[in-house]
Structure 1
Amino acid sequence: MIVIGRSIVHPYIKNETEPFFSEKQKILEIMTGNQEVYNFQTLDELNFDINIRVYIITSALELFQSGLQFRTFGQSYCNPEFWERTHLGGFQLRPNVLPSFAIRDIFVNGKKYGTECATAMIIIFYKSLLALYDEETFNRLFANLLLYTWDYDKDLKLITKTGGEIVPGDLVYFKNPQVNPATIEWQGENAIYLGNFFFYGHGVGVKTENQIIDLLNQRRMPFAFLSAYLTDFLTRIDSRMMSQFASAKKIQTQLELIPIRDDAIIATVGHTTSIH
């Protein structure tokens, strides 16, 4: 269910001609129908959340089509015009290069890049924020970018939780508990949920849950008996923190609210919210 302030609401999009109308409306319907509580302080936060989810999905598909290669950190490479490869295999933004230009180059010249799946997911998050931020704001927040596994700019606020319900735009994790040590890079797969039962994972492409599990199972140690599986870890962009930097001109979704209950008492422990 969706809660704004102390009100349980059922939002819908007023303008059916706006871009990605059906995708946004579907996200709202899923969030409204889930048992998980999606708690927002303002309507603007909710508006940002559904928009960033759409851009995470579109950015994932763009990265899939970019030609970006799957490589371990020991074999990673990048476009030296924008990035310098670190000794650990990460990508450090070159001095005097704008972060916005460097992130876009990965999507335009993907064949000049190779990295592993966690870094690819962070790249998707940056690209989705670039769609909703003014250029100047993005470049100020994410100056001196380093792309390396889960090491990301401190101004990129993410929430990782367990036990939530998957919504399109969520980042999930598939674990391969008996991975073959010779291919340890396949010990798991980070993936963006695209909706309609499909996921995008760097190195596996656009696949269903079962297809990703089958691919990971092919990379288990001999005589393995434990299957790979989709964990209950979810990672999301923190809409409360990140929405404050968004450009009003880039978020034009017109939401209407049907109030369901106006006296909800919200209790939050960690990243888990309950209604009383």
Structure 2
Amino acid sequence: MIQIPYGVMKPSSKTISPLQQSIYQSLKESHVTYHYFTQREMLFELQLRENIVKAAFQLNESKVNFSGFENSTFNKEYWEKTEVGYQLKKGKKPSDGIRDVFINSDQYIFECVTSIVIIYYKAVLESIQEHYFNYLFSQMIVWAHNYDKDLGMYSIKKVDLFPGDVVYFYNPDYEKPIWMGENCVYLGNDLFYGHGIGVGTAAEMIEALNSLRKSEATESAYLLPQVTRLDFRYLSRFE
């Protein structure tokens, strides 16, 4: 259910995309109440969710490779490797640094948590004014769970799953720690994107992780009952 103080106006199909219409309908039909201060705030969430999906497809189609931190690389023109991740170099704009991941993708190697952060940054960049993006993320650092808190990432028990949400497929009998699980963006229609595996259904994600278990494995990979989202309300201030 969607709740807005002065009532909900159904978005026109002329003003929002088919994917946004689908997300809107899912929000509306949910047994959970989703509160918005304004119609504009709701529309911002629909747009940002779509941009997350778009960024996931773009990363999937790029030449970015997959590896752990010890074998990772970022374009040295923009990024400097530190003990906790890749720090944007002084004098470089965060917007340019994030775009470069997609432009010069063959110069980047990272793992799945980092891919989620990159996707989120790219989606936010496409959803808010660029000068705000560069202000909010001026001290940008990227690697795994090291990221700017202005993204507002948080995880909750899964009650709904909408395109743009991030989920985690856990692999308890993994052979190598890097395959302990897979962070994935939900794309809609039971499709997920996970860096290192690609685009596939939930069953295909589990099958891929099961192929990466230790030889005496007995427990299948499975989807954890939680989702990770951005603070859409906070970010909408900078549209």
TM-score band (shorter)? over 0.9
CA contact (8 A) 1:171 1:193 kept: yes
Q: Which residue matches 1:158?
A: 153
Q: Which residue matches 1:186?
A: 179
After superposition, residues 87-166 of structure 1 pair within 5 angstroms as 87-88=83-84, 90-166=85-161
Select which of 208, 218, 224 maps to 2:211: 218
Query: For the residues of structure 2 that align with 1:163 and 1:202, how far apart are their CA atoms?
Result: 22
CA contact (8 A) 1:12 1:25 kept: no
Query: Going by fraction, where is helix more abundant, 1 or 2?
Result: 2
DSSP-derived class of the 2:35 partner: strand
- In the TM superposition, structure 1's runs of 4+ consecutive aligned residues that sit over 4 Å from their partners are none
DSSP-derived class of the 2:150 partner: coil
Query: For the residues of structure 2 that align with 1:232 and 1:39, how far apart are their CA atoms?
Result: 22
- Whether 2:37 is the aligned partner of 1:44: answer no
What are the superposed Cα offsets for residues 23-82 of structure 1, whole Å, 9 maximum, x if unpaired?
110111111122222222221221111010000000111111121111111110010001
Q: Which residue matches 1:86?
A: 82
CA contact (8 A) 2:128 2:236 kept: no
**Offset, 1:6:** 8.2
DSSP-derived class of the 1:12 partner: coil
Give percent identity, aligned residues only: 38
CA RMSD of aligned residues (A): 1.4
What is the identity, as a one-letter code, of the residue corresponding to 2:49? R
Q: Which residue matches 1:14?
A: 12
- Whether 2:163 is the aligned partner of 1:168: answer yes
Query: For the residues of structure 2 that align with 1:213 and 1:25, how far apart are their CA atoms?
Result: 29
Gaps of 5+ in 2: none
What is the identity, as a one-letter code, of the residue corresponding to 1:189? E
Q: Which has the larger radius of gyration?
A: 1
What are the superposed Cα offsets for residues 120-159 of structure 1, whole Å, 9 maximum, x if unpaired?
1011111111112222111011002100111111222123
Count of paired positions? 239
Q: Give the TM-score taking structure 2 as reference length.
A: 0.95
**Offset, 1:223:** 2.1
